[in-house]
Amino acid sequence: MEITGKIIVALPEVGGTSRAGNAWKKREYVLETLETYPKKVAFNFFGERVDQFPLNVGDMVTVSFDIDSREFNGRWYVDIRAWKAVPAGSEGAAAAAPAMAGAPAAPAYGPAPQMPQGYAQAPGAVPPPPAVDLGSSDNDDLPF
């Protein structure tokens, strides 16, 4: 899976030694998407990828990740484990999503055009209200 956005938090690297005696390290980041309603996504790099993909606050990146869930003491925990990060808009990001290369551009939305005269409305459609003259009149029945 992939997500694109801006790095807004870069937490310090943490590490330790596993029960088996192996050293481990991980670094967590928070990315904010560039949507109308932005979402914040916390993810991490684990092991050698911590050094392979150093990210800084303010970087625009496309992150490739896997989602993993695990149970511990009756509770479930979700982990978003990143395995690649490339600058947003770079060749690496475009190569990672070849299916999108041939996709048509998103249409530019604006105000709806007026229906030309002579076209019928959809069955069951409510006709528009009659035009009302909003000129100044002392005979209106508004309470204010």
Domain ranges of the chain: 2-92
Please give the pLDDT value at position 89. Answer: 79
The residues, ordered by sequence, that sit 6+ positions from 28 with a Cβ below 8 Å of its Cβ are: 11, 42, 43, 44
Please give the pLDDT value at position 100. Answer: 41
- For residues 115-123, average pLDDT: 57
What class does CATH assign to 2-92? mainly beta
Please give the pLDDT value at position 101. Answer: 43
Q: Does position 52 have pLDDT exceeding 90, yes or no?
A: yes
Burial of 33 (0-12, 13-18, 19+ CB in 10 A): middle
- Reported confidence tier of residue 58, pLDDT bands at 50, 70, 90: very high
Q: Does position 97 have pLDDT exceeding 70, yes or no?
A: no
Q: Does position 121 have pLDDT exceeding 90, yes or no?
A: no
